[in-house]
């Protein structure tokens, strides 16, 4: 199990925590492709489901319109490369970082059309509400389910009325009340997701909170 992958760590429970229901994930099937620039690209977050279809999971941080345009074309290109290899149906889910409040999730080029299957918008999730709820559950039960651990892992990246620094600090404080194996996993995943979902000052604030906690 990779300590850097929320899907490998929590499987379908991570997706369910954000309202996405898929067939059960049964295998991690990363692959290497050659892109249009003739560069080797490693597709790490690729999984086989029990119905023999595939899940491609993609975190994205930058709100820059050019980067979002490039993301859509890149996903279309990678989708075709994955299909060329496996010849299976592919569900692509994008996890958008907190700096992204809206983005196009499809391309229409006339004869060529592409649509992202689903998206998780961290900027639209009330992190303040989940912070209170998860803290209360840990106090009462002393533990969290994998769905709840998934939400805890993503707390530093959710919408908040306060600061990113404070939200990350509170998330780590909740994690520190868990048994060691779960605490360590959640904190490692938080740090890994910060690198995938945050940019600039937001990243610096969250990393500083992790260091303090």
Q: Which residues contact 68 (CB under 8 A, 6 or more apart)?
A: 60, 62, 100, 103, 104
CA distance 213 to 197: 20
What local confidence, expressed as pLDDT, does residue 1 receive? 41
Output 131 or 208, whichever has higher pLDDT: 131
Taking residues 79-93, what's their average pLDDT? 96
pLDDT tens track for 132-177: 999 999 999 889 999 999 999 999 999 999 888 999 999 999 999 9
| Alpha-helical runs (H) found in 161-199 | 164-175, 180-197
Residue 206 token pair: 């969250």
Q: Which residues is 159 bridged to in the sheet?
A: 126
Question: pLDDT at residue 103 above 70?
Answer: yes
Residue 211 token pair: 């260091």
**pLDDT > 70: percent of the chain:** 98
This prediction's pTM: 0.93
- For residue 98, the tally of other CB atoms under 10 A from its CB is 26
């Amino acid at each position: 199990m990779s300590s850097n992958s929320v899907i490998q760590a929590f499987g379908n429970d991570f997706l369910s925590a954000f309202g996405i229901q898929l067939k059960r994930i049964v295998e991690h099937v990363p692959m290497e492709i050659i892109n249009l620039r003739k560069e080797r690209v490693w597709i790490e977050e690729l999984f086989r489901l029990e119905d023999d279809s595939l899940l491609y999971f993609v975190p994205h941080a930058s709100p820059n319109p050019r980067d979002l345009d490039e993301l859509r074309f890149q996903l279309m290109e990678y989708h075709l490369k994955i299909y060329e290899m496996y010849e299976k149906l592919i569900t692509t889910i994008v996890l958008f970082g907190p700096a992204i409040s809206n983005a196009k999730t499809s391309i229409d080029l006339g004869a060529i059309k592409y649509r992202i299957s689903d998206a998780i918008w961290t900027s639209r999730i009330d992190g303040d509400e989940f912070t209170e709820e998860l803290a209360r559950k840990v106090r009462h039960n002393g533990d969290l389910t994998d769905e709840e651990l998934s939400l805890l892992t993503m707390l530093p990246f959710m919408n908040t009325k306060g600061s990113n620094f404070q939200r990350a600090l509170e998330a780590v404080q909740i994690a520190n009340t868990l048994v060691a194996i779960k605490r360590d996993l959640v904190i490692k995943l938080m740090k890994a997701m910060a690198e995938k979902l945050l940019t600039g000052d937001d990243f610096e604030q969250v990393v500083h909170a992790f260091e303090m906690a």
